[in-house]
């Protein structure tokens, strides 16, 4: 699992800068239509890496394997939610930072609204993730499994990063688009 | 305050100040609770912040007051002192007591385990 803090903090700063410059930003009508809503490639790679590492830990014998399997199940559920509607709006950050807002970005407003509505549910999912990662760390320490310990610590840090940076950024994107997109809002 | 007698005195005074908490906390059992539910995020070493702030010296200090740790705004604004009663309430349901706290902990519903945990935290001086 790779630290993503610096990337997202930079993105947040860009979004904030775009917000502060908003009076001068024209709404463009020429950007290509978004037909699908992927997530940023860096986050896709992180998800793949996490799933791969957890999958390996899940095959270990004993408690490390037991807890890793529980963590993998939770991770898959949480990653599916992130990929469905939490992370896709983040793909817009480079455009927003360049001052470009187009009507076809409206899909991100709906996703951002859904994140806001589900915030407590998402938080509770994070508590479950932290809980299982704590159990994985305890099992890993008992088994002298440094790989598993390091993974769990990094994953817990990423979980906090989601709450501190990623999800607020998505909400900020939604608010920004709502303010900049014409009439419908 | 570092000797075992001093720690015992702290634990005793905390417990006697906890109305409604019948269970006399066991610091040794509380250490086990800490390790299984808190240790991934919290260190007990002074000055060592992790995902959460260090819990060294947590009993008696104000919310949002550990240097070098970035708290959530609601935690900073809570203006509480962590004593046995506030810790008991917080550890039972963190988001109920401080809505918006970023501590990803669902809470310890077992009052005896909470008392054990608080007794352990009281030794971290």
Contact check, Cβ <8 Å, A156/B41: yes
Domain B4-121: which topology? Answer: Cytochrome Bc1 Complex; Chain D, domain 2 (1.10.760)
Closest approach of B57 to chain A, Cα-based (Å): 22
Residue B6: band (very low, low, confident or very high) from pLDDT cuts 50, 70, 90:
low
Q: Examine the pLDDT at A3 and tell me if it is beyond 50.
A: no
Q: Per residue in A75-132, pLDDT tens? A: 999 999 999 999 999 999 999 999 999 999 999 999 999 999 999 999 999 999 999 9
Non-local CB neighbours of B72 within 8 Å, separated by 6+ positions: B100, B101, B102
- 3-class SS at A101? strand
Residue scoring higher pLDDT (A144 or A12): A144
With tokens 């009508």, the residue in question is A29
Q: Phi-psi region for residue B64, left (φ > 0), alpha (ψ -120 to 50) or beta?
A: left
Under 8 Å between Cβ of A170 and A141: no
Contact check, Cβ <8 Å, A164/B102: yes
Here the tokens at position A101 are 């807002």
Closest approach of A183 to chain B, Cα-based (Å): 32
Residue A40 confidence (pLDDT) = 97
Residue B57 confidence (pLDDT) = 97
Residue A19: band (very low, low, confident or very high) from pLDDT cuts 50, 70, 90:
very low
Interface membership of A78 toward B (CB under 8 Å): no
Could you tell me which residues are beta bridge partners of residue B62? B81
Here the tokens at position B45 are 């070493």
Global pTM value: 0.80
Nearest-10 crossing angle of helices B27-37, B111-121: 100
- 3-class SS at A54? helix
Chain centroid offset of residue A179 CA: 23
With tokens 């706290």, the residue in question is B101
Contact check, Cβ <8 Å, A152/B40: yes
Residue B68 DSSP symbol? T
Contact check, Cβ <8 Å, B36/A164: no
DSSP states of A144-155 = T-HHHHHHHHHH
Residue A182: band (very low, low, confident or very high) from pLDDT cuts 50, 70, 90:
confident
Residue B23 confidence (pLDDT) = 67
Under 8 Å between Cβ of B60 and B10: no
Closest approach of A128 to chain B, Cα-based (Å): 8
Alpha-helical segments (H) within A59-164: 62-81, 93-97, 106-117, 119-142, 146-161
Q: Per residue in B73-124, pLDDT tens? A: 999 999 999 999 999 999 999 999 999 999 999 999 999 999 999 999 999 9
Contacts with B109 from chain A: Cβ below 8 Å: none
Chains A & B: contacts with CB separation below 8 Å: 43
Residue B24 confidence (pLDDT) = 81
Residue B93 confidence (pLDDT) = 96
Count other Cβ atoms within 10 Å, centred on residue B4.
8
CA gap A10, A164 in Å, rounded: 13
Q: Mean pLDDT across the stretch A44-63?
A: 97
Average pLDDT across chain A, whole number? 85
CA gap A2, A88 in Å, rounded: 19
- Percent residues over pLDDT 90 in chain B: 81
CA gap A110, A116 in Å, rounded: 10
Under 8 Å between Cβ of A131 and A67: no
Q: Residue A52 burial by CB count (10 A; 0-12/13-18/19+): exposed, middle or buried?
A: exposed
Q: Per residue in B34-80, pLDDT tens? A: 999 999 999 999 999 999 999 999 999 999 999 999 999 999 999 99
- Percent residues over pLDDT 70 in chain A: 79
């Amino acid at each position: 699992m790779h630290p993503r803090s610096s990337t997202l903090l930079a993105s947040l700063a860009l979004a904030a800068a775009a917000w502060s410059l908003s009076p001068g930003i024209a709404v463009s009508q020429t950007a290509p239509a978004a037909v699908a809503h992927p997530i940023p490639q860096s986050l896709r790679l992180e998800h793949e890496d996490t799933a791969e590492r957890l999958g390996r830990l899940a095959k270990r014998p004993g408690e490390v394997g037991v807890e890793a399997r529980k963590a993998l199940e939770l991770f898959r559920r949480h990653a599916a939610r992130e990929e469905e509607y939490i992370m896709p709006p983040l793909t817009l950050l480079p455009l927003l930072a360049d001052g470009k807002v187009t009507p076809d970005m409206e899909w991100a407003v709906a996703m951002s609204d859904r994140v806001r509505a589900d915030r407590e549910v998402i938080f509770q999912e994070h508590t479950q993730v932290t809980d299982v990662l704590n159990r994985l760390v305890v099992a890993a320490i008992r088994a002298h499994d440094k790989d598993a310990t390091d993974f769990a610590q990094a994953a817990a840090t990423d979980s906090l990063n989601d709450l501190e940076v990623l999800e607020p950024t998505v909400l900020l994107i939604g608010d920004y688009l709502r303010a900049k997109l014409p009439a419908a809002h | 305050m570092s000797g075992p007698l001093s720690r015992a005195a702290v634990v005793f005074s905390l417990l006697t100040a906890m109305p409604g908490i019948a269970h006399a906390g066991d610091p040794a059992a509380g250490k086990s609770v800490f390790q299984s539910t808190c240790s991934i995020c919290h260190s007990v070493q002074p000055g060592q912040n992790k995902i959460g702030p260090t819990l060294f010296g947590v009993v008696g200090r104000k919310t949002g007051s550990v240097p070098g740790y970035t708290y959530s705004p609601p935690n900073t604004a809570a203006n509480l002192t962590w004593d046995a009663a506030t810790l008991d309430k917080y550890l039972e349901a963190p988001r109920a007591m401080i809505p918006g706290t970023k501590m990803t902990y669902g809470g310890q519903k077992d009052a005896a385990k909470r008392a054990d945990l608080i007794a352990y935290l009281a030794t971290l001086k």
